[in-house]
């Protein structure tokens, strides 16, 4: 039986390969869509959900007084507080490879609130000592070919200030490699360049216990309820997700695209399977004459389609996982994907299963036709 399936698949190699190819492309696309959606919506927090972001309640374009930092740090269970501002700006030109996050922060507290950053102590000291110094993530420094002591210029856009910065440290973030694509410079440099307005965009808070999240949020928001700038405090995850939400209903968009891909590929596969089965009408009749039962004929045709679906599915998943690395920079440049695409066993299994299912459904109709066939009709068709 398996030999018959194998022989049938090999009879028209070109057709089998073409069909496997189209299933593989479909599964490749589905895997990619699922991986991108996951990277966008399932935000990794290397601190295990114990980091909060505080911002002005009105929106991100409004800032907070500098004095809020110390008061936030006084809340019980708050281990560290660091200011963080999105500088944006322009490095060299607008090409995507030159777009990477540029933050201003306080070198005294940044690493306390971001314990996942690994920076040699002497480099941290060098950064703290140089007001115009900056630190860069290892993958960013590598991509740009920067070395310690190099000087770069970043043109301001949100802030009407150009930055002249010197690289003082290169940090790693082994637990969340996507964070290595950013640079951090001293907030005091920006403050001075802007004539000391005394404001901060965001405060990032690290708690000593994830259980404390709800009460810290409540306490922090209540603390400034009657102040000129009211706070919105949320988990790092919720904060990052709010950016994805702005893009629109991404789940719906990706879902409908995925559905269209599956339907399209189902048609392709079913079509090929039907073609393959039709060509063999007389053979099916011969098999039946030889004593093969209807069930066996059905199983044979379905197995053939399932094999195509399975091989195509596996191939597609494999290709998709190979493509992740190449796609990462472009995705991050889009500004909506904040973490690395990662292979995922569950997702891979699901994708292969979709391939299998496509094969199964595609095989059913021709199998049904083959089974229904009257032997005499099948044999007659030869002539």
Partner 1 sequence: MIPIKYNVRSLFARRATTLMTVLSIAFVVLVYVGVLALAGGLRTAFAASGDPQTVLVLRDGARSETESGFASETLRLLSNLPQVARDAEGNLLASGETLHLQVLQRLDGTEANVSIRGVEEGAFHLRPQIEIVEGRRFEPGTGEIIVGANLPSRYPALSLDGRVQLGRTPFQVVGVFESGGGAYASEIWGDVRDLGDAFRRPNYYSSTRLRAASRSDVSALIDAIESDQRLRLEALPEPEYYEQQTEASAAVFIYLGNGLAILMAFGACFAAANTMYAQVSVRRKEIGTLRALGFKRRSILAAFVLEAVVLGLLAGGLGALLALPLNGFETGTVNNLTFSEITFGLRTTPGILLGGVLLATATAVIGGLPPAISASRQKITDLLRQA
Choose the binding region for partner 1 from 45-53, 192-200, 238-246, 285-293 (rule: CB under 8 A). Answer: 238-246
Residue 194 engages partner 1 in binding (rule: CB under 8 A): no
Alpha-carbon separation of residue 310 from 35, 213, 305 (angstroms) = 20, 46, 9
Binding of partner 1 at residue 26 (CB under 8 A)? Answer: yes
Q: Which is nearer to partner 1, 278 or 293 (CB)?
A: 278
How do 231-235 and 102-105 pair as beta strands?
unpaired
Give the residue, chosen from 1, 6, 11, 18, that forms a contact with partner 1 under the rule CB under 8 A: 18
Cβ atoms of residues 204 and 141 within 8 Å:
no
Residues 38-97 that bind partner 1 (CB under 8 A): 57-62
Closer by beta carbon to partner 1, 121 or else 228: 228
- Binding residue for partner 1 (CB under 8 A) from 67, 118, 129, 257? 257
What b/e string do you get for 122-146 counting C-beta neighbours within 10 Å, with b at 16 or more?
A: ebbebbbebebbbbbbbbbbebbeb
355 to 374: interface string for partner 1, x by CB under 8 A = --------------------
Closest approach of partner 1 to the CB of residue 89, in Å: 9
Q: Which C-beta is closer to partner 1: that of 88 or that of 296?
A: 88
Cβ proximity to partner 1: between 67 and 263 the closer is: 263
Q: Which is nearer to partner 1, 18 or 342 (CB)?
A: 18
Window of 46-54, 137-145, 190-198, 252-260 that interacts with partner 1 by CB under 8 A: 252-260
Q: Map the footprint of partner 1 across residues 261-280, applying CB under 8 A.
A: 261, 263-265, 267-268, 270-272, 274-275
- The window from 14-22, 118-126, 192-200, 208-216 that contacts partner 1 (CB under 8 A) reads 14-22
Told to check if 225 binds partner 1 by CB under 8 A, we report no
The verdict on 160 binding partner 1 (CB under 8 A) reads: yes
Beta-carbon contacts of residue 235 (< 8 Å; ≥ 6 apart): 45, 49, 51, 52, 53, 213
Smallest distance from partner 1 to CB 106, Å: 24
Q: For partner 1, give the closer residue by CB, 168 or 232.
A: 232
Return the HEC string of 328-380.
HHHHHHCCCCCCCCCCCHHHHHHHHHHHHHHHHHHHHHHHHHHHHCCHHHHHH
| Binding flag, residue 302, partner 1 (CB under 8 A) | no
Residues of the shown chain interacting with partner 1 in the complex, contacts defined by CB under 8 A: 14-15, 18-19, 21-23, 25-26, 28-29, 57-62, 155-158, 160, 228, 232, 242, 245-249, 253, 256-257, 260-261, 263-265, 267-268, 270-272, 274-275, 330, 334-336
């Amino acid at each position: 039986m398996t030999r018959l399936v194998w022989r049938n698949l090999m009879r028209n190699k070109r057709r089998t390969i073409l069909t496997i190819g189209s299933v593989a492309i479909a599964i490749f696309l589905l895997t990619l869509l699922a991986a991108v959606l996951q990277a966008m919506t399932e935000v990794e927090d290397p601190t295990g959900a114990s980091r909060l972001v505080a911002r002005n309640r009105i929106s991100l374009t409004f800032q907070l007084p500098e004095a809020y930092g110390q008061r936030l740090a006084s809340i019980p269970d708050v281990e560290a507080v660091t200011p963080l501002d999105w500088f944006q700006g322009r490095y060299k030109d607008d090409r995507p490879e030159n777009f990477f996050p540029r933050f201003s922060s306080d070198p005294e507290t940044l690493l306390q609130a971001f314990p996942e950053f690994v920076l040699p102590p002497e480099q941290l000291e060098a950064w703290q000592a140089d007001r115009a110094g900056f630190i860069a993530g290892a993958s960013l420094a590598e991509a740009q070919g920067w070395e310690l002591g190099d000087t770069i210029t970043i043109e301001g856009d949100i802030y009407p200030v150009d930055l002249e910065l010197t690289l003082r440290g290169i940090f790693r973030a082994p637990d969340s490699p996507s964070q290595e694509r950013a640079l951090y410079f001293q907030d005091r440099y920006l403050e001075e360049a802007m004539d000391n307005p005394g404001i901060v965009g965001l405060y990032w808070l690290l708690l000593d216990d994830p259980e404390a999240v709800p009460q810290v949020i409540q306490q922090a928001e209540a603390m400034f309820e009657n102040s000129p700038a009211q706070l919105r405090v949320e988990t790092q995850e919720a904060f990052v997700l709010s950016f994805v939400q702005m893009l629109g209903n991404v789940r719906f968009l990706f879902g409908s695209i995925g559905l269209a891909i599956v339907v399209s590929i189902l048609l392709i596969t079913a079509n090929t399977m039907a073609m393959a089965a039709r060509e063999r009408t007389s053979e099916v009749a011969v098999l039946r004459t030889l004593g093969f039962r209807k069930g066996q004929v059905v199983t044979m045709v379905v197995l053939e389609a399932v094999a195509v679906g399975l091989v195509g599915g596996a191939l597609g998943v494999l290709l998709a996982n190979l493509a992740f690395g190449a796609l990462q920079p472009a995705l991050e440049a889009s500004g909506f994907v904040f973490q690395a695409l990662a292979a995922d066993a569950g997702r891979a299994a699901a994708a292969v299963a979709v391939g299998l299912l496509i094969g199964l459904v595609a095989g059913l109709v021709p199998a049904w036709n083959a089974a229904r066939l009257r032997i005499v009709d099948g044999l007659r068709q030869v002539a």
